[in-house]
């Protein structure tokens, strides 16, 4: 579901990462403004708050309506592949920059957030930050063929339930920009898998239960490029038709 709350803009909520992905696509399709971004036409919305009550992947809605190849590409760039590449139908940057995986590994961000929360469970400093100084240099050197991570930060918070039950772990992220149709589903899946890895490591270190909680994000710009509009429209039509038939 999504609602527009003035003066703040669109808020999206769902029980699963698949449901928030579909609601995001629908919100952009129905309410997006036709704009141009570096010579590409797209429907876009600004400043969106998005929240999934759970972080489970695989997700049945992503499996049914998502593009498996695109989802797998994002997961691969987060957990396996060290060199960033663009699988957009019209690539906007050349391969060669560090992937999310390379940034996580080289800067030991997983180790950092686990160590920080294991030492101080209530800490607000357990943040993965994906932008570094060399990214700014590259953007200035090649402004028409640059790469800056779309997911800029992912933060993990532990909220204590009690001594017996352990902690809820909430995950928060910021996206400077997100391709709502082609890539957002994969981003949500990859962050959920990161949350699972962090929670498993913390459960072992703290010797208690860590329950993955909601995924909560802020999207500065969510868009669907012109080349994907018809496909996105058909995806939402099929989803709505299925929903109506099972009610």
Q: What is the pLDDT of residues 34-43, one digit of tens each?
A: 999 999 999 9
Whole-angstrom distance, CA of residue 49 vs CA of residue 11: 5
| String of DSSP letters for 146-181 | ----SEEEEEEEEEEEETTTEEEEEEEEEES-EETT
Which range (144-148, 198-202, 204-208) has the least confidence? 144-148
State if pTM tops 0.85. yes
3-state DSSP assignment of residue 35: strand
pLDDT of amino acid 144: 85
- Please, where are the H alpha helices in the chain? 17-31, 60-65, 68-79, 100-106, 109-119, 133-141, 184-206, 229-246
Phi, psi dihedrals of residue 147, rounded to the nearest 5°: -135, 130
Tokens of residue 33, six digits:
């403004």
Q: Is residue 208 classed exposed, middle or buried when 0-12, 13-18 and 19+ CB atoms within 10 A define those classes?
A: middle
* Tokens 């909601």 belong to residue: 214
Contacts with 164 (C-beta within 8 Å, 6 or more apart), sequence order? none
Whole-angstrom distance, CA of residue 138 vs CA of residue 125: 27
Tokens of residue 51, six digits:
């929240």
Tokens of residue 124, six digits:
């607000």
Whether residue 25 has pLDDT greater than 80? yes
Q: Does domain 2-246 have CATH number 3.30.572.10?
A: yes
Give 86's pLDDT tier (boundaries 50, 70, 90): very high
pLDDT of amino acid 246: 62
């Amino acid at each position: 579901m999504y609602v527009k709350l003035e003066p703040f803009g669109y808020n999206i909520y769902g029980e699963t990462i698949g449901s928030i992905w579909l609601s995001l696509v629908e919100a952009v399709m129905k309410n997006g403004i036709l704009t141009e971004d570096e010579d590409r036409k797209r429907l876009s919305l600004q400043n969106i708050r998005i929240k999934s009550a759970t972080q489970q992947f695989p997700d049945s809605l992503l499996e049914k309506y998502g593009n498996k190849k695109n989802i797998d590409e994002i997961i691969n760039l987060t957990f396996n592949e060290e060199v960033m590449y663009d699988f957009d139908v019209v690539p906007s940057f050349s391969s060669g920059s560090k992937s999310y995986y390379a940034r996580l590994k080289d800067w030991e961000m997983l180790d950092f957030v686990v160590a920080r929360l294991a030492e101080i469970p209530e800490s607000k400093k357990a943040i993965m930050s994906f932008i570094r100084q060399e990214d700014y240099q590259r953007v200035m050197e090649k402004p028409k063929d640059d790469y800056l991570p779309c997911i800029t930060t992912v933060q993990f918070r532990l909220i204590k339930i009690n001594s017996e039950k352990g902690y809820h772990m909430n995950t928060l992220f910021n996206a400077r920009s997100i391709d709502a149709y082609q890539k957002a589903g994969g981003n949500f899946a990859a962050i959920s898998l990161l949350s699972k890895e962090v929670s498993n490591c913390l459960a072992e270190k703290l010797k208690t239960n860590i329950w993955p909680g909601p995924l909560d994000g802020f999207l500065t710009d969510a868009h669907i490029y012109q080349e994907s509009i018809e496909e996105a429209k058909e995806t939402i039509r099929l989803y709505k038709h299925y929903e109506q038939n099972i009610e």
